Amino acid sequence: MDLTGGFGARSSGVGPGREPIGLESLHLGDEFRQLVTTLPPENAGGSFTALLELPPTQAVELLHFTDSSSSQAAAVTGIGGEIAPPLHSFGGTLAFPSNSVLMERAARFSVIATEQQNGNISGETPTSSVPSNSSANLDRVKTEPGETDSSQRLISDSAIENQIPCPNQNNRNGKRKDFEKKGKSSTKKNKSSEENEKLPYVHVRARRGQATDSHSLAERARREKINARMKLLQELVPGCDKIQGTALVLDEIINHVQSLQRQVEMLSMRLAAVNPRIDFNLDTILASENGSLMDGSFNGTPMQLAWPHQAIETEQSFHHRQLPPPPTQQWPFDGLNQPVWGREEDQADGNDNSNLMAVSENVMVASANLHPNQVKMELISYKIHIRFEAMELDDQINIFCVETSNPSAVTKSEYPSCRCPRLE
Amino acid sequence: MNTYNMVKQRFIKKWINTLHMLDSSIEHPLNVTERKNAIRLSSDLAIAAARSGATVWSRALISRSGNKTTNKPMARRILKKARNRIKNRCSTLRRNGNFTAKVGVRKRTELLKSLVPGGELIDDKDYLIRETLDYIVYLRAQVDVMRTVAAVDLVTGNLTNDRRNK
């Protein structure tokens, strides 16, 4: 389908070279425009399945991903012991600690699974990283439900998923998904894992001084797996570290999930209340070509700088229900404060200068309510961001995400300023 | 950091798609509650789609959401597909070692099963925990993105009103 192809091509293009705060090349802003404008017409029911199978399955992308993941795996295992996730009090605020490493670990788990579930075929890279993670395979081999159902051949017990063809390398790939914390030093070798692909039995090597009874081995393997996962869950859920015992940890996890679900409910209510449209300008927000969402350290402020521009366009697009193609903007910037105040704002939007001035005026309007320090920060960040060109969608989203991943403490400090009183 | 951002990116992409789809297939005008339901539905579908249906919770979420959109025949197809996979999943999970569950843990796992979509179908506690972990990651991504978008909307709304009032 056209959508699938478009997504695949684009994502594969940026996959290998993507950096979180990449300022580089990419200029396929119009590609995103295309995507967004063609999307509503193509909105037949057929696109829903395309939606689900959308993630790209490029071998190169996977290759790069596995490279980075394996190196990260080593790094994380090394420092896994001493990572103390910052414990923020969970009750009072809605701020989640930015346990970047933990989220990364957990998310990598799911991402790897997603990647390889989509039928990747590259297998040479994973083999190098498998020995380091083969210890995890000990437990992995036995029960393998989960994300890798379509590609994981190591479900030695299950005979059901055999109909999906997959090369052997994929299994090794699938085994790589683990919580790197679990660096147990069992002596399981690769070739025995290969044997497991064909045999219905699990070959588990017992450690010294432990019973070799098959039942106890299996039970031990399961117990260790459960404990490791509980530990990781403990770290993921804030405030869980100090709790001993499975029941209490489960309590915390349940609370966490419940609160997250409630938050989603509230946020969707909020979004619904603000916008009369369902697809509330999310696409215009992301199609903002100025890329002012940069630089996570400036959190809320870049948003305030970017959105004034959007406010101008949004008014027009509001009634037309279509997206104005975002003009590429170069913002040569010389000095912010005084000259800007005097400019006119009622010029055509197509004019770069007028856009700049209107934006600046709005910035001034918005920042007049802020604390002077914040104003200064805004000006500084404004200057820094001023040179960005139209960015490709993935980078925009990247930046968007980088921004949101910063500690919400900073973002929350922007909230009061968001509700600034109207200026006359 | 990289990977969590990638999760959020995938979520945003899917969310744009689902919003568009929902917007064109739902008759207007809507009141606030219906809008909220539509937004919630679209974002749930987006996180499930971002997970690509590889986990039980994502498929269960899709099937659960499919019930709410009656005018989407495609959703029904997905629903069938999801149901089948969930059935297969159930039978493979039967083979476990025996594990001893204490009463408190037992009750809590039941509760957790009710929270995580599709959790009731999972027997293996270990697998349930894995599903929960995955689900939490995506839930958090959803919350983060929605919160940011809501804040942005607030700012935009204020500024737009400022301009209008002048």
d(CA A367, CA A302): 12
CB contact under 8 A, B147 and A414: no
Predicted TM-score (pTM) of the model is 0.42
Residue ranges of alpha helices (H) inside A199-346 are: 214-236, 246-274, 282-286, 300-320, 337-341
Q: For residue A177, what is the nearest residue in chain B, using CA coordinates?
A: B130
> Position A258: which residue type?
Q
Q: Is residue A311 packed enough to be buried (19+ CB in 10 Å), middle (13-18) or exposed (0-12)?
A: buried
Mean model confidence pLDDT for chain A: 50
Q: What is the pLDDT of residues A346-374, one digit of tens each?
A: 443 344 444 444 444 444 444 444 445 55
CB contact under 8 A, B39 and A107: no
Instruction: State ipTM.
Output: 0.75
Between A298 and A278, residue with greater pLDDT: A278
Whole domain around residue B21: which residue ranges?
3-165
Q: Around Cβ A267, how many Cβ atoms within 10 Å? A: 24
Closest-CA distance, A365 to chain B, in angstroms, reads: 8
d(CA A405, CA A302): 14
Residues whose CB is less than 8 angstroms from the CB of residue A255 and which lie 6 or more positions away in sequence, other chains included: A90
Q: What is the pLDDT of residues A208-259, one digit of tens each?
A: 766 677 777 777 787 787 778 777 777 777 766 665 667 777 888 888 999 9
Q: What is the pLDDT of residues A101-159, one digit of tens each?
A: 556 665 665 555 555 544 444 444 444 444 444 444 444 444 444 444 443 333 333 34
Angle at A418 between CA A416 and CA A422, to 5 degrees: 105
* Contact by Cβ (8 Å): A55, A162: no
**Mutate which of B143, B145, B161 to test chain A, going by most A C-beta atoms within 10 A?**
B143
Write down the domain spans for chain A: 2-95, 98-228, 237-274, 278-304, 307-423
Asked if the bond preceding B29 is cis, omega within 30° of 0, the reply is yes
CB contact under 8 A, A146 and B131: yes
Between B132 and B99, residue with greater pLDDT: B132
Q: What is the pLDDT of residues A290-332, one digit of tens each?
A: 344 443 333 444 444 444 444 444 444 444 444 444 444 444 4
Set of chain A residues whose Cβ sits within 8 Å of the Cβ of B131: 146
DSSP summary character for residue A329? -
**For chain A, percent of residues with pLDDT exceeding 90:** 2
Q: B residues 79-138 near A, CB within 8 Å? A: 85, 88-89, 91-93, 95-99, 102, 104-105, 108-109, 111-112, 115-116, 124-127, 129-138
d(CA A50, CA B53): 12
| Residue A265 confidence (pLDDT) | 92
Q: What is the pLDDT of residues A75-93, one digit of tens each?
A: 444 443 343 344 333 333 4
Number of domains in chain B: 1
Q: For residue B137, what is the nearest residue in chain A, using CA coordinates?
A: A107
